[in-house]
Amino acid sequence: MSSETDFIVIGSGVAGLRASIGMAEKGARVTVLTKDKASESNTEYAQGGVAVVLAEDDNPELHEDDTLIAGAGLCDVEAVETLVTEGTRCIKELIEWGAEFDSDGGKLIFTQEAAHSRRRIIHANGDSTGAELVRSLIAKAGTERSINIVPFAYTEGLIVENGRCTGVKFLDPILRAPREIRAKGVIMCTGGAGQLFLHTTNPAVATGDGMAMAYFAGADMADMEFIQFHPTALSLKNAPRFLLSEAMRGEGGILRNKFGERFMPRYDERAELAPRDIVARSIVAEMRRTGTRHVLLDMTALDGAFLKHRFPKIYETCKFYDLDIASDPLPVSPASHYCMGGIRTDLHGRSTVPGLYAAGEVTCTGVHGANRLASNSLLEGLVFGARAGEAAVDDSRFVKIDSGGADESPRGIAETSNAEIATAVRKRIKRVMWERVGILRDRDSLRRAIREFDQIADAKLSTSSRNFVTLAQLVARAALWREESRGGHYRTDFPEQRDEFKVHSIQRMNADISSAATISFQAKSVV
């Protein structure tokens, strides 16, 4: 069964909702497909806040400089300029729509996070900023009658006809039957792929299916080797790796080893406020040096009432595990957190496949380079979500919806519905990714990982398993190709940056890895 809409948005995080609102305001019919409830996304779990130029002592140039420094020489300058200049307008717009950020006496409260030169992070309800953004965007979307949000709809693949993306295949959430929906354009906003790794701060939905679907549809993928590992995830036996916000160190938290010694100054002069990749590797080095599975995040020098007010969600979560953040050092270790790479897009969300757009963590715009600056992700979703939605509408003025024809979408091999096999495949991939394609990498480990992934890929897999192993292959192959250390990618056999690798890795189906000086490209006509 097939239906029609003007545009399909896959994903209901900040990027997907912002794109949908922009298109609806231009009079378009928008169908939003999300594989869980509308509020379940990486956005919902974002604690730290939004980095935005609103403070009196701040300006876009300073925010741009901080972003470029964190990106380790791989940020595309034009993308960063777009982020920091348009970001202020997007946040003001969000406040007009009803978003409530923490304030004191009517003035926004700003905090500082690692690698920021100013206190420019605004937050909501202490450590629930992402949830507030989702709340306000869903409320705004609810005022647009032309937006139809379909929860629990699992997207299985993109429909590509005559070189254009013309729709999607998904499972009807009520009938649990396959359906097709056609449109003038598809905007992919499915978030990242933290679940590729054994230990992650990401929710269960962050499996990277959107990236894999775009890859199978013929889209370029860029910088897949760059994975950000958050330094401080709560590390308790038989407990999920709950994120302990970057802002905890920004407010004065200290990292100590099992002997109670502060160790970060030995690794970097910026200590706890060094960029995330440096802090994560330093923690791994300290754990190896002391023979432990975690280090300690010490907040005990700060006032207990302040901590409870500033970090209410973290406070309650730790309390559930019998930890008081005001009096107990918290056991932490790194976990996968964010993908800097993804679907290659221009600055208007266009992918290399006409009719297919993307925004948010699923993309690689060049704005993050080799290492995302803390709290730039929510801002990116707003800025580039708006841009992708606007471009999709503008590009499709003369596009007619194709009601169906010869489907050129790549076909998967015969699938198995054995849930036990799928679970076993996923567990094995997650462990191999963590052990061989994790924070510290080398040629031998990467080659072993690729061999195992290739063997898994040769089996008859379900769509979700095929997507999962394909993403693992893309990350591992790009990591093997990049024979240097830069940002979130660290090779113990190539520990230094190399000028010849000051380029972006580009991967597409049935082609060797290539490189590009910038992420942006000249988009093909969608007509």
DSSP letter string, 462-484: -HHHHHHHHHHHHHHHHHHH--S
What pLDDT digit, counting tens, does each position of 339-375 carry? 999 999 999 999 999 999 999 999 999 999 999 998 9
What is the helix, strand, coil percentage profile of the chain, to 5?
A: 35, 20, 45
Report the pLDDT averaged over residues 424-435: 96
pLDDT one-digit tens code per residue, 91-142:
999 999 999 999 999 999 998 887 899 999 999 987 788 889 999 999 999 9
Note the pLDDT of residue 172: 86
pLDDT in the model for residue 522: 85
Q: What is the pLDDT of residue 413?
A: 40
Over the stretch 310-331, which tens digit does the pLDDT of each residue have?
999 999 999 999 999 999 999 9
Q: What percent of the chain has pLDDT over 70?
A: 94
Higher pLDDT, 113 or 293: 293
- Give, for 244, the enclosing helix (H) or strand (E): none
Asked whether the predicted pLDDT for residue 40 surpasses 80, the reply is: no
What value does the mean pLDDT take over residues 443-447? 98
- Residue 516's alpha-carbon distances to 163, 266, 500, 519, in angstroms, are 23, 36, 11, 7
Task: Flag whether pLDDT at 43 surpasses 70.
Answer: no
Mean pLDDT comparison of 127-136, 273-282, 419-428, 479-488, highest-scoring range: 479-488
Q: Which residues are catalytic?
A: 276
The pLDDT value recorded for residue 47 is 58
CA distance 6 to 29: 5
Hey, which bits of 361-429 come out as E strands?
A: 363-364
Closest among 361, 25, 372, 396 to 186, alpha carbons compared: 396
In tens, the pLDDT along 141-197 reads: 999 999 999 999 999 999 999 999 999 999 988 888 899 999 999 999 999 999 999
Model pLDDT, residue 98: 95
Three-class secondary structure assignment of 183-239: CCEEEECCCCCHHHCCCECCCCCCCCHHHHHHHHCCCCEECCCCEEEEEEEECCCCC
Q: How many CB atoms lie within 10 A of CB 64?
A: 18
Check residues 37 and 237 and name the one with the higher pLDDT. Answer: 237
Q: How many residues are listed for the chain in this entry? A: 527
**Structure confidence at residue 121 (pLDDT):** 93
Does residue 412 register a pLDDT over 60?
no
φ and ψ at residue 176, rounded to 5 degrees = 55, 40
219 vs 238, which has greater pLDDT?
A: 219
| pLDDT tens-digit readout, 448-482 | 999 999 999 998 898 899 999 999 999 999 999 99
Query: How confident is the prediction for the chain on average, in pLDDT?
Result: 92
> Which pair of tokens denotes residue 314?
């973290």
Return the pLDDT at 417.
53
Which residue ranges form the domains of the chain, and what is each CATH number?
1-46+128-226+340-527 (3.50.50.60), 237-334 (3.90.700.10)
